Structure 1
Amino acid sequence: MEEQQQVEVEVEVPSYFVCPISLQIMRDPVTLPTGITYDRDGIERWLLTAGTCPLTKQPVPPDCDPTPNHTLRRLIQSWCALHADHGVDLVPTPKPPADRARVADLVSRLRGATSSAALLDALRELRDVAAESERNRKLLAAVPGAVDVLAAVVVASCRDAKAACDEALEIVCSLELSERCLARLVERNEELVDALVATLQRTNTTSRAHAALLLEAVTAVMPSNRLVSLPEEVFGEAVQLLRDRVSSPATRAALHVLVGTTSWGRNRVKAVDAGAVAVLVDMLLDGPVERRGCELALAALDRMCGCAEGRAALVSHGAGVAVVGRKVLRVSEVASEKAVRVLRSVARHAATAAVVQEMAQTGAVEKLCVVAQSEQCGERTRERARETLRLHARAWRNSPCLQPHLQALYPSC
């Protein structure tokens, strides 16, 4: 900061050295077809979302490759060197950006690799190219067949050539693939899920995290006929990720997998059999859990309480009912909605005398009374709360566990 202030006081930076986007001295000036020059990093980020020249507002073609302004860069470098004694940083000559031909050539090398060493070399070079910039990752994703080749490497090397699998997974996870691209990937690579499960079963935490992220992405676009036949190992590894807490992104990915795949009864039972309910309750109990994680955990519990096995697992957990009730009105409107849905499922389908008493003793009934009248919740959530309270009004209305001021809020039967 002091150096920047010194530059501003002692030397005046020529205006044509300054990027119109960042308002900083350009390090790699490039010129658009509109004739305006920007710093490469700034304009490439801009074009990813805007698609127009920031100053002229003229449209820029999606495949536009800005032209390097070498003359201006040399002038900037000379000026910076001349004023280095005044605290101006030198501007190094930038590394030439990857072009489409180079990226396509690397993909071809992957296809034609005849040895493990050649495959690894091509993967590592491609990984370095992808890591350089969003522009390069966009180029890679646009090369026909590139993502399929990387997925094929994951499938072929997940058990034996693990280093190649790890590199390919890292590259794929760095790309922002469209739903259409992911759907094609799932359709053309039937063994991909098995390969991801095999990777999740390893001890390498980075590889497990990447596999979790890709599993989340592919299950989100998988057709229903494929989802209902997912192997039990998918749910077992998702639950294990939650136990191990490999990383926040991996945990969230595992939660998304559980929520997204348990709309079908068979998958709900698979998840419950894998121990998902107990792990989710422990996750909510241990805390602190960030808001979105809490919402996803409650959404997964809501899915699993749609089957008898899930409800039985929840009520058999010593803190199951209590922790769900505790999240009502404490996290977010979404979390409250999911928690109320879980409590309604339990009260409707798993309400033994002991469970009814537990719901009153742990404060779940009190929370339902508050929700029934609260403007913080949507009308559907309030109605679910009232419906749940009516189910066991005889046991709860005059319960000593219910605060007197809440008895007045109890809905009429």
Structure 2
Amino acid sequence: MERSVPAPVEVPKFFVCPISLEIMRDPVTLSSGITYDRDSIERWVFNGGHGDCPVTKLPLGASGLEPTPNHTLRRLIQAWCAAQAVERFPTQRPPVDAYRVAAIVDEANRGGQQELLASLRELADIVGESDRNRRCVEGAPGAVEFLVSVVKKHAAGTAKLLVGSQAEMYGVLDSPKASSPEEAALSILHSVKLSEESLKRVLDGSDDFLDTLASVLRWPSYRSRTYGIHLLKAALSAMTPSRLSSASTELVEAVVRVVTDRTLSPKAIKVALHVLCRLCPWGRNRIKAVEAGAVAALVELLLNEGYGGSNGRGGKRTCELTAVAMDHLCGCAEGRLELVEHPAGLAVVARAATRLSPTGTESAVRTLHAVARHSATPAVLQEMLAVGVVARLLYLVQAGVDGERPRERAREMLKMHARVWRGSPCLASHLESYPC
């Protein structure tokens, strides 16, 4: 005897989220009067960047972005699930609000070291729970400033640990759970992903915030250095050119140190290259970077195919950023001198000129053009011929590249030094039309 298949349960329409088309676990109502599941509407508003109600298309406004929990509908859904023998959804925890965050901060400020660590761990749990909580912590009055103050207060003391037992500190600070207040606060700041508005407020209220980040980049913990370089990248994007021009030597040196740090992930190295490219155009920053050893560090990255593998997309992108940074550094005489004095400098830049994207190619050709135009001693010209730079320039002219400017620069370099290079067997027939 065949057993009858139970008919599917029909879910009431008003139990279904208009976005996900599934039963709402945590129903919330917008100012437009439409109810959605909290996760779905928060992804629509905050992750998707929409400022209107998906159903009515009415603008929500600033006050309408925080939905109101629909407790009545939640109880109805729970009762219906019980009546239909459908698995009930667990009751959602009440969402964290700014008052709770402020209370945690106040408790941390009034207590001792243990209370401070406990408060920071609670904040870390809150931030890690949802994007809504992350925005709540960022928007709570004084919360971001409190976290910054913890990092600043302990930054100098942590940096001094470098002179102590390195092995012991690596074991303590790189444990899965942050064991120090400064590392816990830094981790939270990184997780919050501060908006440009928050970063500007921090920078305006703390003149030494960048110096603090420079200190963070020297901490023993590789996690802290990773968090620090990400925060620095975000902070620089919120700064004016005048403030970028006044970057300290210590900050630039710390960034170059990260570029050379092979204990960090390729992603962190790439972020450090972004920071270097952001700093170099302003003031004397590129000279400071050259003096800190940036040219040799960039040559090493190009030799290693971007420290991520030549086959990986990340490695290619790192090489492109390296080429852009090298272009910036060779805009000054000090940078060009360091490049031509490096045994592999000219060769590796020329190789990059024929292997990267149009942006990377243009930056590499610009670097070679700066050397050929401003630093072309007889020894340098002979080296360019010997290590294959001239042959690659000819390849760019003949095979062509995406964009006319690199080709024109390559052609200009060949014409510029045709008298010196015309004796090369591989180039003699191609240089007949160039004035000598």
Normalised TM-score (structure 2): 0.81
Aligned residues between the structures: 401
Q: Of the candidates 265, 272, 275, which is equivalent to residue 254 of structure 1?
A: 272
Structure 1 residues 90 and 242, CA, compared in 2 at 3 Å: closer, same or farther? Answer: farther
Q: Would the alpha carbon gap of residues 29 and 180 (structure 1) be closer, same or farther in structure 2, given more than 3 Å must change?
A: closer
Give the alignment partner of residue 191 of structure 1, picking from 194, 198, 208. 208
Gaps of 5+ in 2: 1-5, 159-178
Q: Is 1:279 aligned with 2:297?
A: yes
* 1:258 Cα offset (Å): 1.4
1:334 maps to 2:335: no
Report SS of the residue matched to 1:30.
strand
- The 5 A counterparts of 1:221-300 are 221-245=238-262, 246-264=264-282, 266-287=284-305, 288=309, 289-300=314-325
**Residue in 1 that maps onto 2:99:** 101
Cα distance between partner residues in 1 of 2:196 and 2:144: 13
Identify which of 174, 198, 221 aligns with 1:204: 221
Whole-Å Cα distance in 2 between the matches of residues 232 and 266 of structure 1? Answer: 9
- Percent identity of the aligned residues? 49
- Contact 2:98 2:136 (8 Å CA) reproduced: yes
The residue that corresponds to 1:62 in the other structure is 62
3-state DSSP class of the match of 2:284?
helix
Letter in 1 for 2:297: V
C-alpha displacement at 1:224, in angstroms? 4.4
- Secondary structure of the residue aligned to 2:180 is helix
State the match for 1:5 in structure 2.
Answer: none
Q: Which of 168, 177, 188 in structure 2 is aligned with 1:171? A: 188
Alignment partners' CA distance in 2, 1:21 and 1:364: 58
Which deviations, in whole Å up to 9, do the C-alpha atoms of 1:129-163 show, x marking residues without a partner? 22222222222222333322221221112234781
C-alpha contact 2:150 2:182 (8 A) present in aligned 1: yes
AA in 1 matched with 2:345: G
> CA–CA distance in 2 between the matches of 1:291 and 1:63?
45
CA distance change for structure 1 residues 150 and 357 in 2, over 3 Å: closer, same or farther? same
Instruction: State TM-score, norm by structure 1.
Output: 0.86
Deviation at 1:83, TM superposition (A): 6.5
Pick aligned residue for 1:46 from 21, 38, 44 = 44
Q: Residue in 2 aligned with 1:152? A: 149
Which residue in 1 is equivalent to 2:165?
A: none
By how many angstroms is 1:50 displaced? Answer: 0.4
Matched to 2:140, the amino acid is: V
| Cα offset, 1:240, TM superposition | 2.3
Q: Is the 8 A contact 2:98 2:139 kept in 1?
A: no
- Alpha-carbon deviation of 1:122? 2.2
Asked whether the 8 Å contact 2:422–2:428 carries over to 1, the reply is no
Asked if structure 2 preserves the Cα contact closer than 8 Å seen for 1:337 and 1:377, the reply is no
DSSP 3-state at the match of 1:126: helix
- The separation in 1 between residues aligned to 2:432 and 2:56, in whole angstroms, is 62
Is 1:353 aligned to residue 378 of structure 2? yes
TM-superposed deviation, 1:30: 1.4
Do the aligned residues in 2 keep the contact of 1:29 with 1:68 (CA within 8 Å)?
yes
Aligned mates of 2:189, 2:433 — CA distance in 1: 54
